[in-house]
Amino acid sequence: MSAHSPGSAQPGDEAQDLLRALIRFNTVNPPGDERAAQEFLAARLAAAGFECELLGADPGRPNLIARLRATSPGGDVGAGPTLCYLGHVDTVLADPAEWTHDPWSGDLADGFIWGRGALDMKSQVAAEVAAGASLAREGWRPATGELLIVTVADEETGGELGAQWITQTHPEKVRCDMLINEGGGSVFEYSGRRCYGVCCAEKGVFRFTVTTDGIAGHASMPGMGDNALLKMAPVLQRLAQRQPAYRLTDEPRELLRGIGEDPDDPAGAIARLRAADPRLAIMFEAMLGVTFTPTRIRASEKVNVIPSRAELRIDCRVPPGLGESEVRAGIAEVLGEDGFRIDFTERVVGNRSPMRTALMREVSTWIAEHDPGAEVVPFMLPGFSDSRHFRAAFPECVAYGFCPHSHQTLMSSAPLIHGADERIDVRDLSLAASFFRDLAVRVLS
């Protein structure tokens, strides 16, 4: 393993130019409209030596697959691993009235690049493309295996035209052994430690409806009928009071250990985290088990009719490895057993990649070199990313969320993602570009 990349190019400058250009393509999804941004990236990568293809179900919303194969004598694509850098080029919407800089300006000001997608995740795409393009232009090629850069459309609304489509429709084109995507890498500090989260696991989604029944009646006489909506009051009260008991899976156990806490005392760990930084406690607590969040309620169709039925929707997130039986246990624990009915509307089991792998060692070694004394710790994403589709399609693939940011911390980035004034510290963009360059060289040389 060499610690040095060939050549002396600084891919950070190229990543800055790419990011500013990418932000200026308005790819708010819906409608997404990603084609122009994808063609722009394809042109850059093709000029550097990548084989590029644009494939999609919707002509206006293609996915880009860019491939750099081994060409050295004896080098054989089949013999080595495929390392894939994954990103999405669509973004959520933005209201310019709430921003200091126009969200599609790509302005460079005060050491930051500003705009929608500056963190989620045009920055990582720009760093990945700058890394790959600069290596390819210098003549670097994998000794064995191949480097894939895949930028997809349609992540923000679930990936139906993006990662899900490409892994199901053209699995042979995006098959990979190792994958780096979004979901981790911003530094955080806790009790004297500097840590970088590597996202190894993503929660599943088991949404359900709680229904109460009653008898309809005229609303002018409250005692008439039997009001199903009022029966939701105790249900909501219980949901406000508590969550299901913690059920720590391997990743949060390792995370707590990594930050110097005892995984056998999660309540104590969360209390100490809360005292140190309530935002850290909120983020980490969501990784520790099944969670219930009530989000919608409906009852009578008419204001003058006492409802005979009320329905409460619960957004329930479940660690990988756990499923409906753990959710039902949580319901019994939090809501009891009587007075309502439960119907599941979604049952998607979460997925994960192993924590102890060659890829993790490379990430960990790189961080140790670039931020001496800092450590990597495993994260579980309380939500999910496109990695889920790749893990589902390629069970052997090790997929992590990681893009190193050492200046802009986890706590300072989190509120900007999907929020106003999204921006990235240009030093972190350079750091990320160096990381993606070094990782490709180390894994594929």
Q: Closest CB to Zn ion among 15 and 229? A: 15
Site size with Zn ion, rule: CB under 5 A: 3
Kindly identify the residues of this chain, within the stretch 164-183, that bind Zn ion according to CB under 5 A: 182
Find the shortest distance in angstroms from Cβ 124 to Zn ion. 9
Q: Closest CB to Zn ion among 122 and 231? A: 122
Q: Closest CB to Zn ion among 229 and 380? A: 380
Residue 121 makes contact with Zn ion by CB under 5 A: yes
Per-residue CA distances from 374 to 181, 380, 403, 434 (Å):
21, 19, 15, 17
Kindly identify the residues of this chain, within the stretch 180-219, that bind Zn ion according to CB under 5 A: 182
Give the separation between CA 298 and CA 212, rounded to whole angstroms: 11
- Residue 212's beta-bridge partner residues? 310
Find the shortest distance in angstroms from Cβ 410 to Zn ion. 15
Query: Among positive and negative, which fits the CA dihedral 401, 407, 409, 413?
Result: negative
Find the shortest distance in angstroms from Cβ 29 to Zn ion. 10
Q: Which stretch binds Zn ion (CB under 5 A): 116-124, 126-134, 292-300, 406-414?
A: 116-124
Of 392, 399, 355, 393, give the one whose Cα is nearest residue 377.
Answer: 355
Radius of gyration from C-alpha coordinates of the chain: 24
Q: Closest CB to Zn ion among 118 and 195? A: 118
Find the shortest distance in angstroms from Cβ 181 to Zn ion. 9
Residue 299's φ and ψ, nearest 5 degrees, are: -140, -120
Strands 82-88 and 178-181: parallel
Find the shortest distance in angstroms from Cβ 220 to Zn ion. 51
Q: Which stretch binds Zn ion (CB under 5 A): 96-104, 115-123, 308-316, 332-340?
A: 115-123
- 437-440 long-range contacts (CB < 8 A, ≥24 apart) are 437/5, 437/11, 437/131, 437/134, 437/135, 438/3, 438/5, 438/366, 439/83, 439/180, 439/362, 439/363, 439/366, 440/83, 440/131, 440/132, 440/135, 440/142, 440/147
Residue 126 makes contact with Zn ion by CB under 5 A: no
Find the shortest distance in angstroms from Cβ 240 to Zn ion. 30
- Residue 395 neighbours by CB distance under 10 Å: 8
Contacting residue, 34, 120, 251, 311, with Zn ion by CB under 5 A: 120
Find the shortest distance in angstroms from Cβ 208 to Zn ion. 26
Residue 444 makes contact with Zn ion by CB under 5 A: no
Give me the residues that bind Zn ion (CB under 5 A), please. Answer: 120-121, 182
